[in-house]
Amino acid sequence: MRRKTTKTGVSRFALLLLALSLPGLAGQKPEPAVIAGTVFRDPGFALPGAEVEVARVAPPESGRRPKPLRSRTDGRGEFAFQVPPEPAEYRVTARARGYVMEEKVVRLSGGPERVDVYLTLKPAGSNQK
């Protein structure tokens, strides 16, 4: 039994496979960048339930600054946020009741990348400088 081919010699089956794969490729979003990390409490233990906020420092080229992303750390003090895969600076802030807030600025170079951030919160009653 012979397969039917078009005038160019390409089988109908190959054309069908190509046609089915194109809509999926065209609708794909770029893979996001990830800002992830861990919040610790002094003297170095994970801090579950801390509130973490990620906010873009400067507005994107479109001129509109996106809303800050907020979450709480899991049982191991970990968090993760998906952000657009473009060059940008983000301020990562962690706070918890009874602790002094800490923040760090991270830079993304663009593309699907992952940046890890580690924050250590000190007790609110400790000596601060």
Q: What is the CATH number of domain 33-121?
A: 2.60.40.10
Residue pair 79/47 in contact (Cβ under 8 Å)? The answer is no
What would the pLDDT profile of 9-19 be if each residue is shown by its tens digit?
556 655 555 55
Q: What is the pTM of this model?
A: 0.73
Provide the pLDDT for residue 2: 62
Mean pLDDT for the stretch of residues 65-78: 95
Picking from 41, 66, 67, 63, the residue whose alpha carbon sits closest to that of residue 126 is 41
Query: Is the per-residue pLDDT at 35 higher than 90?
Result: yes
Mean pLDDT for the stretch of residues 33-37: 98
Query: Is the per-residue pLDDT at 51 higher than 90?
Result: yes
Query: Is the per-residue pLDDT at 93 higher than 80?
Result: yes
Domain ranges of the chain: 33-121
Provide the pLDDT for residue 65: 76
Whole-number Å distance between alpha carbons of 85 and 106? 14
Average pLDDT, the chain: 84
Question: What does residue 79 show for φ and ψ, rounded to 5 degrees?
Answer: -145, 160
